[in-house]
Amino acid sequence: MRVNYDVKLRPWALSDLDYLVKYANNKNIADNLTDAFPYPYTVEDGIKFITKWSLDKPTKAFAIEVNGKPVGAISVFPQTDIHSKNAEMGYWLAEDYWGFGITTRAVKQIIEYGFKTFDINRIFARPFDTNKASQKVLEKAGLKLEARFEKTVIKNGIFRDELFYAIKK
């Protein structure tokens, strides 16, 4: 049975805290992100995250809202210096919502927003080689694999390949 999900991006609010902590506190999510994403994910982590990003203008970190409920996060961060025409994209989605095309839709929305809002010409993402689902999301959203750096990142004590996917304006 195919479920029809209404997916939209919106700024975070403190009223999202319970959902954020509930969904972010998941080792399967944390294992696919940088160590800056804590596990376990606490109320204090959620408050710090929402406080930091809800006031940012223009918004760079959004809640992925599905049928009125925040169930993930997605961001686009313009880079600096010689990389100033680039922005890095990152995202995660609550495990209960995996496999329904939600992340692909959110990625397409953040790409459109990023190119419209910031003076950039390239958006990139850096999934681990073990995160096949994220690689599929990026490809479905139109990003191309540009590079693979073998055994350059360490996560949970294991060296992993870092992949660079990107899309140009």
Q: Which domains does the chain have, with CATH numbers?
A: 7-122 (3.40.630.30)
To which H or E segment does residue 158 belong?
strand 158-168
pLDDT, tens digit, for every residue of 133-159? 999 999 999 999 999 999 999 999 999
pLDDT of 3 higher than 80: no
Mark 7-34 as b/e (b = at least 16 C-beta within 10 Å): bebebbeeebbebbbebbbbeebbebbe
Question: Residue 10 pLDDT more than 90?
Answer: yes
Give the count of alpha carbons within 13 A of 114, CB side only: 31
* Average pLDDT of the segment spanning 70-75: 98
Which percentage of the chain shows pLDDT scores above 70? 98
pLDDT in tens, 15-41: 999 999 999 999 999 999 999 999 999
Q: What is the DSSP letter of 137?
A: H
Q: Are 93 and 64 in contact (CB under 8 A)?
A: yes
